[in-house]
């Protein structure tokens, strides 16, 4: 194994241990040569089929989070992340918000949408009479791309098994895609966000509304009125309309 892959694996092992500790595991049985194989879920995986198998076997979000923490499918992301950023909120939420990828703040804190964009998202939620605990937040990618560059196609593909399994486990009725990357990835389209927003889409029986990303709204406040129209459409469809 090269020095670089060894350090990626080391990092993944440390992150797995950290996520087990966060999940309340205080002790691990020691493994000697005569012992059985260690739990496959807790080992770093570098092959797509193995990861897919593990993701499919996860029957709870906690189990899936442990699998994600050990993922090293994207060399660059696995070797530059501080930690994976899984998802947060109500594990049985009716509504999921799908973003693009963790930024610097999310990479540091391990939670989606905790930076400036997240603060604006909290305000949007509040205007809809919602708190982040009422919904579920997740991203197309679970690792921060260096310098906040856009996710690459192969990275989004590697992470897709986790996105789909996470959505299966939460089983929302509605998804709100925040920005072009989220919308185009989920819906497998190259249509612009300007044309995707303002109407309902379907993803495997889940109703989908696409709107602008909070970071875009911070840079282009004049687009906030369109984002508000999208939220009103979403809330109307959910049966919890909000005022004009
Ligand atoms: N932007 C995103 O798309 N997701 C996050 O979690 C944070 C910022």
Structural domain spans, the chain: 1-70, 85-244
pLDDT band at residue 202, thresholds of 50, 70 and 90?
A: very high
Ligand 1 atom at minimum distance from 140 CA: 3
What's the CA-to-centroid distance between 5 and ligand 1, angstroms?
27
pLDDT band at residue 10, thresholds of 50, 70 and 90?
A: low
Pocket of ligand 1 (CB under 6 A): 99-103, 106, 112-113, 115, 117, 139
What's the CA-to-centroid distance between 38 and ligand 1, angstroms?
34
Q: Which CATH class, in words, describes the domain spanning 85-244?
A: alpha beta
pLDDT band at residue 33, thresholds of 50, 70 and 90?
A: very low
Average per-residue pLDDT in the chain? Answer: 89
* Three-state SS annotation for the chain: CCHHHHHHHHHHHHHHHHHHHHCCCCCCCCCCCCCCCCCHHHCCECCHHHHHHHHHHCCCHHHHHHHHHCECCCHHHHHHCCCCCCEEECCCCCEEEEECCCCHHHHHHCCCCCCHHHHHHHHHHHHCCCCHHHCEEEECCCCCCHHHCCCCHHHHHHHHHHHHHHHHHHCCCEEEEECHHHHHHHHCCCCCHHHHCCCEEEECCEEEEEECCHHHHHHCHHHHHHHHHHHHHHHHHHCCCCCC
Residue 180 has pLDDT above 90, yes or no: yes
What's the CA-to-centroid distance between 102 and ligand 1, angstroms?
5
Share of the chain above pLDDT 90, in %: 76
What's the CA-to-centroid distance between 109 and ligand 1, angstroms?
12
């Amino acid at each position: 194994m090269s020095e670089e892959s060894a350090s990626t694996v080391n990092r993944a092992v440390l992150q797995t241990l950290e996520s087990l500790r966060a999940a309340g595991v205080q002790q691990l049985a020691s493994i000697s040569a005569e012992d059985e194989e260690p739990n496959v879920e807790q080992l770093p995986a570098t092959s797509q089929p193995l990861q897919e198998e593990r993701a499919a076997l996860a029957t709870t979000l906690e189990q899936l989070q442990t699998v994600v923490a050990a993922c090293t499918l994207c060399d660059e992301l696995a070797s530059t992340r501080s930690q994976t950023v899984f998802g947060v909120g109500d594990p049985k939420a009716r509504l999921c918000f799908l973003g693009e990828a963790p930024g610097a703040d999310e990479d540091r804190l391990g939670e989606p949408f905790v930076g400036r964009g997240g603060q604006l998202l909290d305000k949007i939620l509040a205007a809809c009479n919602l708190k982040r605990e009422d919904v579920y937040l997740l991203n197309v990618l679970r690792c921060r791309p260096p310098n906040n560059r856009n996710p690459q196609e192969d990275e989004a593909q590697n992470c897709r098994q986790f996105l789909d399994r996470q959505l299966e486990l939460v089983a929302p009725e509605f998804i709100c895609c925040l920005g072009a990357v989220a919308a185009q990835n989920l819906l497998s389209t190259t249509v612009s966000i300007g044309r995707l927003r303002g109407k309902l889409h379907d993803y495997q029986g889940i109703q989908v509304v696409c709107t602008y990303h909070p970071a875009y709204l911070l840079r282009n406040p004049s687009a906030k009125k369109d984002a508000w129209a999208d939220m009103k459409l979403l809330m109307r469809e959910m049966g919890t309309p909000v005022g004009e």
